[in-house]
Structures are given as C-alpha cells and as structure tokens.
Amino acid sequence: MVNSSLTYEILLYLNSFYFGMFAACEAGIGILKAVNLPYPSATLGAEAGLLLALLIIESLRCVLGRRGSLALHSVPVCISVFLTIPSALCVTYFFLFQTRILRLEYIMCAIMLLLQVTELFYALLFLCTICRPPSYD
C-alpha cells in the first residue's frame, strides 16, 4: 500500500518550489509582453490581478495542505482540496484563454496542472485513509 501522506507531502514540497518559479516566470513574461507587444490595458490589468489571486490562493493551498498532512488533520487538507479548484481554473486561464500565449507558458502551465491533478488525487487518497475508522487487528 502506498503511503499517501508521504507522497502528498512530497508533492506539496515540490509544488512550493515549482510554483515560485512558475509565478516569477509568469510575471516576467507578462512584463515582457506588456513592453514588447500591443496589449489592451484593461486585459493587462485583469491578467496581473489574476496572477496575484493565483499567488495568494496557491500559497494558502500549499500551506494548509502541508500543515494538515504533517499534523494528520483532515480539515486543512479538505480546505486545500477545495482551493485546488480556483487555483486550477486560474492556471487553465493562463493555459488556454490568455490574450497572448507563448510556448513556454503552455509548457509551464501544463506541468502546473499535472502537478495539481496529482496532488488532488493523493490528497483525496490521504483523506480516505485518515477518515476511515481504525482497525485493531
């Protein structure tokens, strides 16, 4: 049997580093596109706000997931699972619906979505193992 708590913790640890790189690259690419490409100012502000919202949501999701996983508490992990939905929607926007999308952004967003889906799977597996009644065999 797979230790879902350990796997979930490793994925959250990996995500904390990858998301830092992802957010920095998205901010840099956004600045590059704003300077070099014709960009509507309202769209530019909306995408910057969405990146800021993603930064807050994903940071909160990683902190709650790690705190719940380490303490074996299900409530922070449940909140982390629910925060995966808006986080994945923000990354999907950057992946598909952004005004101008570079190939590098396709690759980074695809990796981020893959990481989030894998974390969601192991978080649900972790919640199933922590919420079942103990067996005294």
For every residue of 83-115, DSSP letters joined together read: HHHHHHHHHHIIIII-SS--HHHHHHHHHHHHH
Write out the residue range of the structural domain in which residue 32 sits.
Answer: 4-130
- The stretch 10-24 carries a mean pLDDT of 94
CA atoms of 91 and 108, how far apart (whole Å): 10
Q: What pTM was estimated for this model as a whole?
A: 0.89
Check: CB of residue 36 under 8 Å from CB of residue 129: no
Q: What number of other Cβ atoms are within 10 A of residue 54's Cβ? A: 23
In a domain, 36, yes or no: yes
Q: What is the pLDDT of residues 42-57, one digit of tens each?
A: 888 899 999 999 999 9
Looking at residue 99, what DSSP letter applies? S
In a domain, 136, yes or no: no
In a domain, 99, yes or no: yes
In a domain, 122, yes or no: yes
In a domain, 137, yes or no: no
Q: How many residues does the structure list for the chain? A: 137
Q: What is the pLDDT of residues 94-105, one digit of tens each?
A: 999 988 889 999
In a domain, 22, yes or no: yes
pLDDT of residue 2: 64
- The stretch 76-102 carries a mean pLDDT of 93
Annotate 68-81 with DSSP letters as a single string: HHHHT-HHHHHHHH
How many domains in the chain? Answer: 1
Lowest mean pLDDT among 6-10, 40-44, 78-82, 86-90: 40-44
Tell me, what amino acid is at 53? Answer: A
Collect all residues with Cβ–Cβ distance below 8 Å to 23 and sequence separation of at least 6.
51, 54, 55, 58
Closest CA to 29 of 3, 14, 51: 51
Q: Is pLDDT above 90 for 73?
A: no
